[in-house]
Chains A and B, each alone.
Chain A
Amino acid sequence: MKRTVPLMIVMVGGILMMLQYFIPHQISQTVFAYYTDWTPIIVAFALVLGVGSLTRIHSHKIRRKAKNWQYSYAVLIPLFGMPILAHLWPESISGGMDSPSIFHFIFMHIQVPIQATMFSLLAFYIASAAFRAFRAKSALATVLLLAAVVVMLGQVPIGELLGRWLPETGLWILRYPNLAAKRAIMLGVGFGILATSLKIIFGVERNWLGGAGK
């Protein structure tokens, strides 16, 4: 029963959703409307589970003074603090999500700069990695290196100043060889997704049961 019920739900739900996509009938649309209503509710339950699990793990870490337990406060305080500031804190003392509010201030002046900084670090690591990795060690590596240089120069205005052929060649690489390779990869991934989805719907693939299917 523990295995059969989830497998049946997945099979019936999967087949139903597949069929409804191609049937523009009122009944099919009603099924679809029910589905779109249910899903956010199920997701809301998953959110409760997720928050509960995260809180339990980090509270446990703090209680036991486990390694780096101080960082757990950095998880728990914003986890509860931000929703409180957004929804429970009185608007008369800078509550709510809209500007000006404490929530908005924290988002714009802490969250945004932190994320932007983390992403910006990529530029530094890419430069270092390009220096060490782009070596013309073989014919294929040379092709890769030349393509990278042409596309990089073609993407910036200075490339245009060095020669009109640079951005045009860069665009040609993107529009044709790149497109062909990407399409092949996408088709492969698409067929893979299709095969895996069918295996899940028909109960052949049961890893998603998290061990209960064994």
Chain B
Amino acid sequence: MSAVNIWEKMLNIDRRWIFLGIGVVSIVPFFINFGMPVRTTREVESIYDYVDELGSDNAIFISFDFAPGTSAENMPMAVAVMRHAFYNDIPVFMTANYPLHHGMMLAAMEYVFNPTTEGFYEDVDFEDWKDLREAGVTGKYELIEAWENQGNQLPEGALGWVFEGRDYAALGYAPVFNLVILGMTVSIETQYPVDAHGNSTGEMPMLQEHKSLREVDMALTSSGSGACVWWVTYAREKMGLPIAFGLTAVMATDYFPYLQAGQVIGQMGGLRGAAEYEVLLTENGITPSTDKAFRGMDVQSAAHILIILLIIMGNIAFFAGGFHKKTLLKGGR
């Protein structure tokens, strides 16, 4: 076999070998935990710092603007900010700009409230604390006290109580979401008379305290599409609501202009951005350990290294085989 043939064979490698390689490097790190360090960047730190400054008098929106396809990247971002907000007793409004994204919102809540999740929050349904609400007990700390006085005990491993309607409102999907954002600049309740579970939003203490986007302090859009810009166009530009982006890695490069122009306070780009937020949460004692995004960084490291090795291999074969002098090269399978 001549040398040229070896290079040609290398260039025309059956792509199924490449697929196999990607498959192997994607699976192995799940079994062997490398735990490589993730350094935080100012784009993510700025979101963390902003949320960290807020408290129970403030409120934020987390918009689940992604479908299951990008949930590996977008879900950890939304979950990380949600846990940060719950830790700081910041009321969280949750929305979705598409019916499928509504399911992602419910899945995120299920994860954060699930007792098998390390550092979960114990959820109290809106109906379950109706008596306290009717008795006028709506402040977070007096509510916890009254709730525990009723004999309720925080389960072992839970980081705290979250009361539906006081600490979070799962508003969910509403059609023509850009107009919903516009409408919420006037009134949140008008756009969402009931939440995703059929509860009347007008009866929720957090909606009585934060009636429109003008009384909200930040919106994070964890987005897998260009819909994240709606928040900038209709909420940031119309009435100055601070916006934070959580974007997939392929989208992240597109939105740096918004960051530099000061139209968004920060941006989490891809799994890396979510992992950075998880690191910040853990370093500051907000969560007991890092979560899925941090674990996924090992997989991403291995996959990126393999792709770079493939690129190097391809270029070596390309030049060593003298193909750069030729105009035609057979395509691979």
Contacts and interface: CB of A to CB of B under 8 A. Distances in A.
Interface in B238-275: 238, 249, 252-257, 260, 270, 272
Nearest to A126: B307
A140 interface: no
Contacts, number: 152
A155 interface: yes
B22 A39 contact: no
Nearest to B12: A132
A36 B103 contact: no
B95 interface: no
Contact of A153 (B23, B255, B304): B304
Interface stretch (B36-44, B53-61, B115-123, B201-209): B36-44
Contacts of B46: none
Contacts of B315: 134-136, 145
B22 A111 contact: no
User: At the interface, is chain B mostly helix, strand, loop or mixed?
Assistant: helix
Q: How many A residues touch the partner, as a band?
A: 35 or more
B257 A116 contact: no
A100 to B, nearest CB: 11
A111 B311 contact: no
Interface in A100-137: 104, 107-108, 111-116, 118-120, 123-124, 126-128, 130-132, 134-137
A64 interface: no
Interface string A126-161: 111011101111000000010011001101111111
A124 B103 contact: no
A33 B39 contact: no
Given A112-B103, A123-B22, A131-B314, A156 B304 contact: yes
Interface string B295-333: 001101101111110110111001100001000000110
Given A111-B100, A155-B304, A127 B310 contact: yes
Nearest to A99: B110
B72 interface: yes
A40 B197 contact: no
Contact of B69 (A98, A119, A161): A119
Interface stretch (A49-57, A179-187, A203-211): A179-187
B256 A44 contact: no
Q: How many B residues touch the partner, as a band?
A: 35 or more
B257 A182 contact: yes
Given A39-B176, A124-B22, A135-B318, A158 B301 contact: yes
A18 interface: no
Contacts of B182: 32, 36
User: At the interface, is chain A mostly helix, strand, loop or mixed?
Assistant: helix
Contacts of A174: 252-253, 256
A39 B308 contact: no
B332 A182 contact: no
Contact of A156 (B26, B257, B297): B297
A175 B256 contact: yes
B88 interface: no
Contacts of A158: 36, 301, 304-305
Please provide the 7 A-B residue pairs with the shortest distance between their CB atoms, ordered closest to farther. A157-B36, A119-B69, A115-B68, A112-B68, A158-B301, A156-B301, A131-B310
Given A127-B22, A132-B331, A156-B36, 6 more contacts: A104-B106, A131-B18, A157-B39, A157-B301, A167-B39, A182-B257
24 contacts: A21-B238, A40-B175, A98-B106, A99-B106, A108-B103, A111-B68, A113-B68, A114-B68, A123-B303, A124-B22, A127-B19, A127-B21, A127-B22, A127-B303, A127-B307, A131-B13, A132-B332, A136-B315, A155-B300, A156-B272, A156-B297, A156-B304, A179-B260, A182-B257
